Copies of this chain bind each other. A is one copy, B any other.
Amino acid sequence: MSNDRLMNSHAMAFPGPTFMQVPAGQVDDVVAGGFAIIGAPFGSAYTVPGIAPGAARAPHAIRSASARYHAFAGRYDFDLQGPFFDPAGVGLLDLGDCFGPVHDPSQHVAIIEETVRSAAVLSALPIVLGGDDSTPIPICAGLDAFTDIHVLQIDAHLDYRDNVDGHRCGYSSPMRRIREMSHVAKIVHVGARGIGSAHVSDHDDTLEAGNAIVTAREVVREGVGVALQHFPDGANVYISIDCDGFDPSVMPGTSVPLPGGLQFYDGVDMIRDLVSRCNLRGIGFAEHYPEFDNHNLTSVAITRLISNTIGATLSRRQTAKEAI
């Protein structure tokens, strides 16, 4: 598939800013070591439980909330404990939205995968703004230039069903599909609570496959260490965040908010730790439904997690350089 299938269409669809108002770009503009924002505004044509169509609006909502940061270069960032990077000066591009023919979902999935791969092979970090529950599949597929990927899945659910009504690549199934990919070594499910998509057999299957489950309760009571211990130093890592993994007081803009989720600093700490000692290869956010958000709180939280991801990456490089 040629890249001309990728349209930077968000400006037309819903006029608005790019992420942090960085330059809009095409896949060819991505630079090595850079960061590529990739919109995956797909919901479902139906209204079914768990994949309300509103997730299609998440990329626009996140970009809008992030826009004010474009002029913050050089300000002090208390999360990073140092100066905020210049969004437009660190190789951060916004590739727009992956957008295929309206009535052919299979093509947009292929476009996401290809776009992620194009960035990944350049050693640029793909940062994907979903989209519904199914977006992690093409994201992770596109990371196949790497091996032994460890997936940090922050989610209230396991998403480890084999299929839903016969469909294997839709909601509730992404983690099983990802586990089947040969370049994936392990999934660490973090934030599970209540009941959801996982059947008892799914629960057993994922453990049997060598994956790990860390419940939200364990994180709340014992800290993020219980999750981070599963990631060896130097591992290739893909972080897949479903908004319902966090507590509704942090990310209210999701389909069925469940009390008892992760707190904001839990997310910050896991990102910071993994970036500092592993190799982050991709990160994505799914299941953000702006219509349910509370004064953009979810969009702001996602923006700040992305900011932490980029800042931590830059900081690690700086440390590496200084070490020489």
Contact = CB atoms under 8 A, between A and B. Distances in A.
A48 B13 contact: yes
Contacts of A249: 247-249, 259
A194 interface: yes
Nearest to A85: B195
A184 B101 CA distance: 28
Contacts of A285: none
Copies in the complex: 6
A217 B42 CA distance: 35
A180 interface: no
Interface string A254-297: 00111110011100100000000000000000000001101111
Contacts of A231: none
Interface string A80-122: 1011100000000000000101111110100000000000000
Interface stretch (A60-68, A143-151, A314-322): A60-68
Interface in A1-26: 12-17, 21
A59 to B, nearest CB: 9
A44 B99 CA distance: 12
Contacts of A216: 78
Residue of A79, A194, A221 most packed against chain B (CB within 10 A)? A194
A194 B304 contact: yes
Given A17-B16, A68-B15, A79 B193 contact: yes
A159 B220 CA distance: 32
How big is the A interface, by class?
A: 35 or more
22 contacts: A13-B47, A14-B47, A15-B64, A15-B68, A44-B45, A44-B56, A46-B99, A46-B102, A75-B198, A76-B203, A84-B195, A102-B170, A105-B105, A220-B265, A221-B265, A249-B249, A257-B296, A259-B264, A259-B301, A259-B304, A260-B264, A260-B268
Interface in A126-149: none
Nearest to A81: B215
A45 B308 CA distance: 30
A34 interface: no
Contacts of A84: 195
Contacts of A252: 294-295, 297
A129 to B, nearest CB: 13
A192 interface: yes
Contacts of A42: 45-46
A77 B295 contact: no
A41 interface: yes
A199 interface: yes
